[in-house]
Structure 1
Amino acid sequence: MKGVTLQRLQVFCAVYKAGSISQAARDMFLSQPTVSRHLHDFEAVMNLTLFLRDKGRLVPTEAADALYDSSRFLDEGISRLESRVASIRQGSGMRLAVMGVTLMMPYFIPQAILRLLRDMPALDFSVNTGILSQQLSVLRNGQVDIGLAAGGVFTSDIQSEKLGEGRLMALIPESWGLAEKAEIDLADLCDRPTVNLTARGPIGRVLSDALAERGLSFDRQIMGHSLFTAPYLAASLGRAVVVDEYTAFNHPVPSLRLRPLSHELTFDISAIFHAQSERSIAAESFVGHLRALLRDWDGAPA
């Protein structure tokens, strides 16, 4: 029926149950004038007298009794729907599964979880680390909702969304005179002992491409396959190493000095999803928080 809105129907049901406009207004968190207006409009649309006044109370008419008996199930259904919507917004019954590269774990992933829990306190999480090939496998199997990778992914069944960028930086033994320089050129390290990074990983690939472009090469005696262990390996062996800024800041080694590169080298940080999977509200919010954290990164996480 034209003019019968859900809010007017809810106001009618609230007044019917409460027996007064003032109590119905309190129950619905509305002002009394608002409730009075909606009730008046509802009676006008229905062309029925629904309540009679008796010593300050509203007494339902037979028409109101019949109408409430027919509409209360709809009102109760709306209440259940509103309750369910509120639960969904808080994450009740929902789970977000995330797998990211290790450089995202010490700061960005935990901080994004904290921010998302403020909005969705009932949301469950499953968090793990893994290299890109592992992420692709669990995304395709439906075991994970979001992957977080260094670099982009270009396959037909995987969507890649850039969240931000990271920089490569040098870790130099403090005993070297080179550690006093404000910036390090890659050429400065070519005749010195280093821990090299495998080019199979995205960070190592950026470094390898930059060296090849300039006709340079690093000492290949010690090859590192893990960003997490590379700084500790370099410190123990008295060698330099080039890693991403997030690994360098989150895993400081006292005997190594962190220095920026004179020719900036960057890499993308991307969220990856299975192309056929629908993204949840939680997934979209989580990605938004990660993007903001990467944007606001200043090299000194709180």
Structure 2
Amino acid sequence: MREISLDRLRTLVAIADLGSFAEAARALNLAPPTVSLHIADLEARVGGALLSRSRGRITPTAVGETLVERARRLLVDAQQALDDVQRQVQGLAGRVRVGASTGVIAQLLPQALERLGQRHPGIDVQVAVLTSQETLLQLAAGTLDIGLIALPQLPVKGLDIHPWRRDPVMAFLPARWEPPAVVTPAWLADQPLILNDSSTRLSRLTAEWFASDGQQPTPRIQLNYNDAIKSLVAAGYGATLLPHEASTPLPDARISMHALAPPLWRQLGIVHRAGDSARATAHVLDVLWEQGVE
């Protein structure tokens, strides 16, 4: 069965409002035979008369009134849909899906999203907590628009991966501890440790840092939630290795932060689909690039 076109419904509403085929034709910039054809087609579809002539004016029949009422709502909805899509095309509105780790979401995204809200309040950013590998898979599948991932990563066809920011990894210790002037793998390996679990790139980085001095410590606890790790450190339960972003507040007063020897860095990247021209995505990328540091 053919669908009823919006053009035909628009013609019906115009005749109902203006009371004349000729006036409707002028208002819609249509030829009079086209207006008649639209109404004939609608009446054939519904199987009854939609308009009647009374005292020289065209008015809807009872059936016509029902269709006119529904048609008005459909036309408003259709115009609203077009307006919404045009706002997205213009970058004034839209939905952008971002994937990142819990640490990145907690420490880095809020400032970027605050700037985005000031400049483009109509853009809705949906954030998913994902590992770097999950983010890459979802981007390749088209269910994400932007990912914030740990580097390095192997190239992925159809995705653009760029370095974003580089932050030092620091030793986070209970403040009551008395560490040496330099926190080394050998010293830290002898302490109770609370580290990221093996699903994270940071876990591999810290394992390599310990291994550089021949250390292979067994952590007391492994988590994939940096704020929970910091809470346990504050409670004196152990030490950890975590990135410290220069733009974020200092940790809890019950935690002391110390540089590592040798130094260790966490490198993050931005990834998005190659050729993505959506303006809303571009606006989100703009504020993220501003959040990046080298």
Report how far residue 169 of structure 1 moved: 0.6
Instruction: Return the TM-score normalized by structure 1.
Output: 0.60
Instruction: Supply the distance in 2 between the matched residues of 1:265 and 1:210 (Cα, whole angstroms).
Output: 7
Q: Is the 8 A contact 2:92 2:280 kept in 1?
A: no
Instruction: Supply the distance in 2 between the matched residues of 1:97 and 1:231 (Cα, whole angstroms).
Output: 28
What amino acid sits opposite 1:169 in the alignment?
Answer: M
2:149 pairs with 1:144:
no
Instruction: Supply the distance in 2 between the matched residues of 1:117 and 1:286 (Cα, whole angstroms).
Output: 10
What amino acid sits opposite 1:273 in the alignment?
Answer: H
Q: Is the 8 A contact 1:162 1:270 kept in 2?
A: yes
Aligned twin of 1:175: 176
What amino acid sits opposite 1:290 in the alignment?
Answer: L
Q: Is the 8 A contact 2:171 2:239 kept in 1?
A: yes
What do residues 152-195 of structure 1 show as CA deviations (whole Å, max 9, x unaligned)? 332433331111112111111122111xx554223221222222
Report how far residue 222 of structure 1 moved: 2.9
Matches within 5 A, 1:209-288: 209-236=208-235, 238-246=237-245, 252-275=251-274, 278-288=276-286
Q: CA RMSD in A?
A: 3.1
Instruction: Supply the distance in 2 between the matched residues of 1:248 and 1:170 (Cα, whole angstroms).
Output: 18
Instruction: Return the TM-score normalized by structure 2.
Output: 0.61
Instruction: Supply the distance in 1 between the matched residues of 2:220 and 2:107 (Cα, whole angstroms).
Output: 32
Matches within 5 A, 1:35-184: 87=87, 91-157=91-157, 158-178=159-179, 183-184=182-183
Report how far residue 146 of structure 1 moved: 0.3
What amino acid sits opposite 2:222 in the alignment?
Answer: M
1:231 counterpart SS class = helix
Instruction: Supply the distance in 2 between the matched residues of 1:279 and 1:169 (Cα, whole angstroms).
Output: 38
From the superposition, tell whether residues 282 and 226 of structure 1 become closer, same or farther in structure 2 (CA, over 3 Å): same
What amino acid sits opposite 1:134 in the alignment?
Answer: E
What do residues 77-107 of structure 1 show as CA deviations (whole Å, max 9, x unaligned)? xxxxxx9999558633422111211222224
Instruction: Supply the distance in 1 between the matched residues of 2:191 and 2:113 (Cα, whole angstroms).
Output: 41
Task: Report percent identity of matched pairs.
Answer: 21
What amino acid sits opposite 1:188 in the alignment?
Answer: W
From the superposition, tell whether residues 119 and 221 of structure 1 become closer, same or farther in structure 2 (CA, over 3 Å): closer
2:216 pairs with 1:195:
no
What amino acid sits opposite 2:293 in the alignment?
Answer: R
Instruction: Supply the distance in 1 between the matched residues of 2:122 and 2:217 (Cα, whole angstroms).
Output: 50
From the superposition, tell whether residues 156 and 86 of structure 1 become closer, same or farther in structure 2 (CA, over 3 Å): closer
Aligned twin of 2:74: none
Q: Which runs of 5+ in 1 are unaligned?
A: 1-82, 297-302
Report how far residue 203 of structure 1 moved: 0.9
Q: Is the 8 A contact 1:104 1:246 kept in 2?
A: no
From the superposition, tell whether residues 97 and 196 of structure 1 become closer, same or farther in structure 2 (CA, over 3 Å): closer
Q: Is the 8 A contact 2:95 2:124 kept in 1?
A: yes
Aligned twin of 1:291: 289
Point out 4+ residue stretches in structure 1 off by more than 4 angstroms: 83-90, 247-251
Q: Which runs of 5+ in 2 are unaligned?
A: 1-82
Q: Is the 8 A contact 1:196 1:241 kept in 2?
A: yes
Report how far residue 234 of structure 1 moved: 3.1
What amino acid sits opposite 2:253 in the alignment?
Answer: P
Q: Is the 8 A contact 2:174 2:236 kept in 1?
A: no
Q: Is the 8 A contact 1:194 1:239 kept in 2?
A: yes
2:121 counterpart SS class = coil
What do residues 24-63 of structure 1 show as CA deviations (whole Å, max 9, x unaligned)? xxxxxxxxxxxxxxxxxxxxxxxxxxxxxxxxxxxxxxxx
What amino acid sits opposite 1:234 in the alignment?
Answer: V
Instruction: Supply the distance in 1 between the matched residues of 2:136 and 2:86 (Cα, whole angstroms).
Output: 33
Report how far residue 269 of structure 1 moved: 0.8
Q: Is the 8 A contact 1:153 1:272 kept in 2?
A: no
Instruction: Supply the distance in 2 between the matched residues of 1:229 and 1:204 (Cα, whole angstroms).
Output: 16
Instruction: Supply the distance in 1 between the matched residues of 2:290 and 2:92 (Cα, whole angstroms).
Output: 25
Instruction: Supply the distance in 2 between the matched residues of 1:258 and 1:112 (Cα, whole angstroms).
Output: 25
What amino acid sits opposite 2:143 in the alignment?
Answer: Q
Report how far residue 266 of structure 1 moved: 0.8
Tell me the number of residue pairs that the alignment of Structure 1 and Structure 2 aligns: 211
